[in-house]
């Protein structure tokens, strides 16, 4: 009897072992992570406003630099380089107390003076000063979103040397930087939150989605971007994919304000004519969400109020109020594989409503198909970011209520400068050896905790 029991147990164990062929292991130190990306930034300075905002740029910044405050997945602020803060009753004066013992990669200590100078560089209109062990920010108007604003990558604290190269306090430091081509990073041994598990990261820039995918399949890259419309196909291939929440706004943006009532009617007709549902199904392969609002519903809680459904009859009725129909050129980014198809489809929908639109890849156009990465999971900051990118007045959070937010978004849409089309996620594919890598809903990486299986510790 006992022998039978042992045999059963042995067989059971073997089965269990087979199932547990890839058991959980502790993080392993070592190895170089290879990352590819489409963007080709030419500056690593977080405050360099000449560089277009992108999720990738934000992620690069977070590898080398840190902010005073970070936000969690719910948008709540947590201390980073600042370990506490306080605001005046009017939210105009903010005082951030710096964490002690933090050093820049060049071994100099983080001081309030350096932090204040860094923030002034990123925000020339702010009044920022050092006060003892803290940094004080004073604004002319109430700014209840200050902690969330300081969590933005562009507000990362950088110490700028005379040669212009910024130094950060982040988990990795720069080893080699070929602007727009390649960035090589190494783990910062003395990082105050603990040395990262990876020894280093090599980032190849300016690589097309196709090249990135090929490199992943050949084992040359560990982490690559996936175009949203390709995500479904790639997932069918059994690849490990990670999606952010829909954080990128794809929209039509008119380059100037409507001059007359007729022009406003035509823009309204265009907004009603776009068949977002079918475009999403066919051209975007089901990725993202159709929208007629600036903010995604998961962020605002009310986005469903803006109906994204096309209403061709209404579009035609609105268009018929106008006698002369101009020809609008619709600009798109020629380097964006799906943009031309989207622009052509929008033009086709417009024609069904009696409008005349001409897609073009030239720099000048009456309206452009644009991708705007939402700046933050904080809805006020995200809305302000879109306004800034669209050249519209930046809304101020004065009341703080969701109804105020709705009113601000509605006011932005009422300008008829922007026609929101889709909210798209950011998608990445990772090799099987990359462990404990997470993509937060706002599209940011966490590579300090990532590790590579079978790397030599």
Binding residues for another protein, rule: CB under 8 A, are 6, 9-10, 12-13, 16-29, 73-76, 189-197, 240, 245-246, 289-290, 296-302, 304-305, 307-309, 377, 379, 401-403, 406, 435-436, 448-449, 453-454, 457
Q: 270 φ, ψ to 5°?
A: -60, -45
Supply the minimum distance, in Å, between the C-beta of residue 202 and another protein. Answer: 21
CA–CA separation, 394 and 387 (whole Å): 5
Q: What is the nearest approach in angstroms of another protein to the Cβ of residue 46?
A: 23
CA gap 120, 127 in Å, rounded: 7
Helices (H), 353-421: 379-390, 402-414
CB of 180 to another protein, least distance (A): 31
Nearer to another protein, 121 or 373 (CB): 373
CB of 47 to another protein, least distance (A): 27
> Which among 285, 206, 291 has a CA at the least distance from the CA of 247?
291
Distance CA 132, CA 110 (A): 13
Residues 6 or more apart in contact with residue 408 via CB below 8 angstroms = 380, 383, 395, 397
Write out the two tokens for 372: 């705007």
**Minimum distance from CB of 327 to another protein (Å)?**
31
State in angstroms the smallest separation of the CB of 18 from another protein: 8
Nearer to another protein, 237 or 403 (CB): 403
What are φ and ψ of residue 62, in 5° steps?
-70, -15
CA distance 182 to 202: 7
Q: Are 38 and 180 in contact (CB under 8 A)?
A: no
Residue closer to another protein by CB (options 29, 177) is 29
Cβ proximity to another protein, 122 vs 185, nearer residue: 185
Nearest to 347 by CA among 283, 293, 275, 290: 275
Q: Are 413 and 306 in contact (CB under 8 A)?
A: yes
Nearer to another protein, 263 or 311 (CB): 311
Q: Which is nearer to another protein, 344 or 404 (CB)?
A: 404
Instruction: Say which residues have a Cβ less than 8 Å from residue 76's Cβ, sequence separation at least 6.
Output: none
Rounded CA-CA distance 337/323 in Å is 36
In the complex, the smallest distance separating the C-beta of residue 185 from another protein, rounded to whole angstroms, is 16
Q: How far is the CB of 274 from another protein (least distance, A)?
A: 14
Closest CB to another protein among 74 and 324? 74
d(CA 315, CA 451): 53
């Amino acid at each position: 009897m006992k022998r039978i029991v042992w045999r059963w147990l042995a067989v059971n164990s073997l089965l269990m072992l087979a199932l547990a062929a890839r058991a959980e292991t502790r993080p392993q130190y070592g190895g170089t992570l290879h990352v590819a990306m489409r963007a080709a930034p030419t500056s690593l300075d977080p405050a360099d406003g000449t560089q277009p905002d992108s999720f990738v740029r934000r992620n690069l910044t977070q590898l080398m630099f840190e902010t005073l405050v970070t936000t969690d997945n719910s948008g709540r602020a947590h201390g980073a380089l600042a370990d506490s803060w306080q605001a005046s009753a009017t939210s105009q004066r903010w005082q951030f107390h710096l964490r002690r013992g933090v050093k820049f990669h060049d071994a100099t200590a983080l001081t309030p003076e350096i932090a204040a100078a860094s923030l002034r560089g990123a925000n020339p209109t702010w009044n920022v000063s050092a006060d003892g062990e803290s940094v004080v920010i004073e604004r002319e108007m109430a700014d209840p979103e200050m902690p969330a604003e300081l969590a933005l990558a562009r507000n990362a604290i950088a110490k700028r040397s005379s040669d212009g190269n910024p130094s950060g306090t982040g988990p990795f430091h720069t080893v080699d930087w070929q602007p727009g081509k390649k960035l090589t990073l190494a783990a910062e041994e003395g990082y105050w939150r603990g040395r990262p598990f990876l020894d280093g990261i090599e980032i190849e820039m300016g690589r097309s989605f196709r090249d990135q995918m090929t490199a992943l399949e050949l084992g040359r890259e560990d982490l690559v971007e996936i175009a949203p419309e390709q995500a479904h196909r790639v997932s069918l291939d059994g690849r490990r994919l990670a999606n952010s929440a829909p954080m990128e706004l794809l929209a039509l943006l008119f380059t100037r304000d409507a001059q007359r009532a007729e022009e406003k009617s035509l823009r309204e007709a265009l907004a009603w004519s776009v068949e977002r549902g079918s475009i999403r199904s066919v051209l975007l392969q089901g990725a993202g969400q159709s929208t007629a609002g600036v903010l995604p519903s998961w962020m605002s809680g009310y986005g469903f109020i803006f109906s994204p459904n096309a209403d061709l009859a209404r579009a035609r009725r609105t268009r018929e109020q106008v006698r002369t129909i101009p020809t609008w050129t619709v600009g798109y980014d020629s380097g964006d594989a799906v943009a031309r198809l989207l622009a052509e489809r929008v033009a086709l929908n417009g024609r069904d409503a009696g409008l005349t639109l001409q897609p073009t890849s030239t720099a000048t156009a009456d309206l452009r198909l644009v991708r705007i990465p939402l700046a933050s999971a904080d809805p006020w900051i995200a809305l302000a970011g879109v306004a800034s990118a669209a050249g519209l007045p930046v809304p101020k959070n004065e009341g703080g209520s969701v109804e105020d937010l709705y009113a601000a978004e509605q006011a932005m849409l009422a300008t008829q400068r922007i026609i929101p089309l889709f909210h798209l996620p950011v998608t990445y594919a990772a090799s099987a050896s990359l462990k404990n890598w997470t993509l937060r809903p706002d599209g940011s990486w966490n590579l300090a905790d990532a590790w590579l299986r079978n790397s030599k510790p």
